[in-house]
Structure 1
């Protein structure tokens, strides 16, 4: 279980701080909704370690995460922009998720397996610049698989996709979350994405999280 208990944070000049409390179960998508500027991205930044709360606790299966810097937290982040390198192939982009020290042969096998799992078998050599938006997000998901971290943060990951591609991509996210037991936190303003994916739903109201 991922638990955030009364995480308090305020930007300079902010008179009323954010106070976030939530629980996210493994294998379940937990959705976060709220108005623009309500603090959705701030919550993700706190979970990822990009900013630190002034008080509160954050733990995964009882192990505290707040002392850990972003690069060592058990967290992967997938944004609306896939953050791929256009000049690299699908294989090379996905391979960025491999642990340091992975041998070349082992790495190629793992990358091929990850790309196959997200429906891109045979795409290893394809230049990323030639892929569709949905295929790029699948490469980013393959990279996430190779990172092998139990917490997945999704910040509006489907917004740039057309309706059909968004549906198939979100279905894949739900399937991977269940299969790998990820604690997936989805920030979205799309009610249909939340209805299709979320096993738990919080809304940010007045700087805090309320269970829907």
Structure 2
């Protein structure tokens, strides 16, 4: 595993209204870490701290050993995929994905080839001129993956990316995530409330409870039973 892709939160604390969060953990570089737990446990808050959408009151967020605590999200080596996929309805897929290369859409011929290649890689070859509104939910998530691919960042953050999809499509998208991860070798952090998603894709698991990390284990160990009642009940 590569140190330049490791994510670490060192003594991080954050208060949001009446909610208090405290995180101290390391996500192994080049692995898929599932962040799971019950609703309100702090999963998305943890992701937002890594992405830069939240700034801790104390502590440090490090990516590859570099302190990124106060860097703007655009300055961090991360790509993001959300449940709503963040595609612009008025732009065709080629333009939506091209935004991952250049926000002003000033694309070279090589960039346009990269966009078409990414679409082909996620099973959307020939969809360049399609608008997001003409696509199924699974196709829109595939397009979001394609945009993440062209950005070529060391870290991929996913916040409940498959929650709105039916079970069969969730399984297919999980398989695609694992396949793309094998090819890129990036560090993946996926926030999920779905135990099956943890089983399908995770190399490492963080289980959150009341704004704290209750379990931090390799997936194989986690799935064998943690001895933490809340975590074991969640996975049943």
TM-score (norm 1): 0.92
Moved over 2 A (4+): 99-104
1:2 alignment counterpart: 7
1:110 alignment counterpart: 114
CA contact (8 A) 1:32 1:40 kept: yes
Establish whether residue 142 from structure 1 lines up as the match of residue 109 from structure 2.
no
2:16 alignment counterpart: 11
* Higher RCO (CA 8 Å, separation ≥ 6 residues): 1
How many angstroms apart in 2 are the aligned matches of 1:108 and 1:33?
37
Establish whether residue 41 from structure 1 lines up as the match of residue 44 from structure 2.
yes
Deviation at 1:22, TM superposition (A): 2.1
Deviations 1:72-109 (A, max 9, x none): 11112211111112222111111110136854312211
State the SS of the aligned residue for 2:200. Answer: helix
How many angstroms apart in 1 are the aligned matches of 2:18 and 2:44?
18
Relative distance call for 1:126 and 1:22 in structure 2 (3 A) is same
How many angstroms apart in 1 are the aligned matches of 2:56 and 2:26?
17
State the SS of the aligned residue for 1:83. Answer: coil
CA contact (8 A) 1:57 1:64 kept: yes
Indicate the RMSD between aligned Cα atoms, in angstroms.
1.6
Match of 1:127 among 121, 128, 131: 131
TM-score (norm 2): 0.84
**Unmatched segments (≥5 aa) in structure 2:** 1-5, 217-221, 223-236
Relative distance call for 1:148 and 1:51 in structure 2 (3 A) is same
